Amino acid sequence: MSDAHDKLRTYREKRDFGRTAEPSGGAPSETGDVFVIQKHAARRLHYDLRLELDGVMLSWAIPKGPSFDTKQRRLAVRTEDHPLDYAGFEGIIPKGEYGGGAMIVWDRGRWTCAGDPRAQLDEGHLRFTLEGEKVHGRWHLLRTKGFDDADGNGKGESWLFFKGKDEHVDPSRDLVNERPESIVSGKTIEDLQADG
């Protein structure tokens, strides 16, 4: 577990756990294959995709969220690894803290990789399946040469997130607007913000 602890150093250095209710660490899930997509109203609204691997949640910030159209390639900025118990985090990160703003668990489920995920991460093309309550089927993360972040400031490793060809492809679907609610609480970002 010390390896996972080392991987979370950047995550912990960015946060004051005396001020934020975000988790500081946790044990692996029983299956080791959890994914979560969190809707996060920080400086700009975006969706955080997290995939459980080797004791941490690998994380990407996706400004526009997932699309069921294979032609829609969405920017996905690699961010620091997060602790495993972050998969259940929902709440308000205080203003002034890193990532300050409301966050809900927009979707959650299991993920499987078509091959060795570590080799694919090194290669820069992760091919995987998501089976959540909202998101299903084959997906891709493809690393690009540029660096960006969710706010376009050039600070993170840029990837593209897009739908793989399968029976779930549906260019007419706008899932992020059809289903804005949390799968945990049923609340929207706006509900959470109104609750204070």
Residue 79 lies in a domain: yes
Give bridge partners of residue 108 from the DSSP assignment: 36
More confident of the two residues 15 and 161: 161
pTM, two decimal places = 0.88
What pLDDT, in 10s, does the model give residues 104-149? 999 999 999 989 999 999 999 999 999 999 999 999 999 997 655 5
Residue 16 lies in a domain: no
More confident of the two residues 3 and 110: 110
Contacts of 96 (CB under 8 A, 6+ apart): none
Residue 19 lies in a domain: no
Residue 24 lies in a domain: no
**pLDDT computed for residue 25 by the predictor:** 75
Residue 146 lies in a domain: yes
- Which residues in 55-64 are b (16+ Cβ under 10 Å) and which e? bbbbbbbbbe
Number of structural domains in the chain: 1
Q: Per the structure block, which two tokens stand in for 7?
A: 């991987």
- For residue 182, the tally of other CB atoms under 10 A from its CB is 21
Residue 119 lies in a domain: yes
What pLDDT, in 10s, does the model give residues 72-91? 999 999 999 999 999 999 99
Residue 188 lies in a domain: yes
Residue 25 lies in a domain: no
Domain housing 169: 2-11+30-195
